[in-house]
Amino acid sequence: MARLRSLTAASAKALDRRAAERFGIPIVLLMENAGAAVAQEAAKMVPAGSQITVFCGKGNNGGDGFVAARHLIAAGFKPLVFLAGKAKEVVHEAKVNLDILYALKQPVIEIGRHNLSLPKKHALVSRLIIDALLGVGLKGKTRGVYRDLIKAINASKAQVISVDIPSGLDATSGRILGCCVRADTTVTFVARKRGMNIGDGPGCCGKVLVKNLGLPL
C-alpha cells in the first residue's frame, strides 16, 4: 500500500478513530508504539547516562512522552519528567501510562506558575529534551505554563526531539500558534503532517522521521 504523503490534523485524528473502530486497535497500543519509537531515537542521540528531560502535556501527546520515559528507564537512562499541570487532570490512555510511571517509582514533577524556575533550570543542563507538550490537536495560541515551557525548551542548548509535531505548530497550516518549539528532530507517525512542509513548519521541525505505528492505512 502506498505511503501517505501528508496528513492534516483532522485526517490524523480520523486515522486514530479508524484504528479503533475498524481494526480494534486501541489508542493505548498506538501510544505505546509511538512512545517506544521516540525513546529509540532519543537513545541514539546522546551517550548512555546523559541527562534527558521529558516535558509532557496532559493529553495524548503527553501520554506518548510518559511511554518514552518508561522505555528510556528500561534502557538504563534516568529521565527527568515534567508535567504541565496536575496529574489529576490527566485522563484516559495518558493516565494509564502516567500511572505506570508512578508504579515504577519514577518522579513526575507537576509544573505550575509557582515552580516554573525548576524546569527552566533543568532545561539548561540537559543533553536532550523530549517535547511531548502539545500535539496535532492544538487549537488557538499556546498560553500559560505551556508557553513558558516552550520558551524554556528553546532557551536550552540541549538537543530537542519533538513528539509527532513541535509543540505550538499548527499541523495543517504550518503556522506558529503564539510560540513554538524549535526541534532538532521531530518523530512523527504514519505520515508527515501537512504543516511540516509549509509556512513555519520546515524551520521548526528539524529532521523529520516518520515512524510506522502498526496502523493499516
pLDDT attached to residue 20: 82
Helix ranges (H only) for the chain are: 9-23, 27-45, 60-74, 92-103, 117-125, 144-155, 201-205
Position 1 confidence tier, pLDDT thresholds 50, 70, 90: very low
Give per-residue pLDDT as tens, 64-119.
999 999 999 999 999 999 999 999 999 999 999 999 999 999 999 999 999 999 99
CA–CA–CA angle 135, 186, 193 (5° rounding): 60
Q: Does the predicted model carry a pTM greater than 0.75?
A: yes
Domains parsed from the chain with CATH numbers: 6-211 (3.40.50.10260)
Mean pLDDT, the chain, rounded, equals 94
Question: 38 CB contacts (<8 Å, ≥6 apart)?
Answer: 64, 65, 67, 68, 130, 132, 161, 163, 187
Model pLDDT for residues 35-79, shown as the tens digit of each residue? 999 999 999 999 999 999 999 999 999 999 999 999 999 999 999
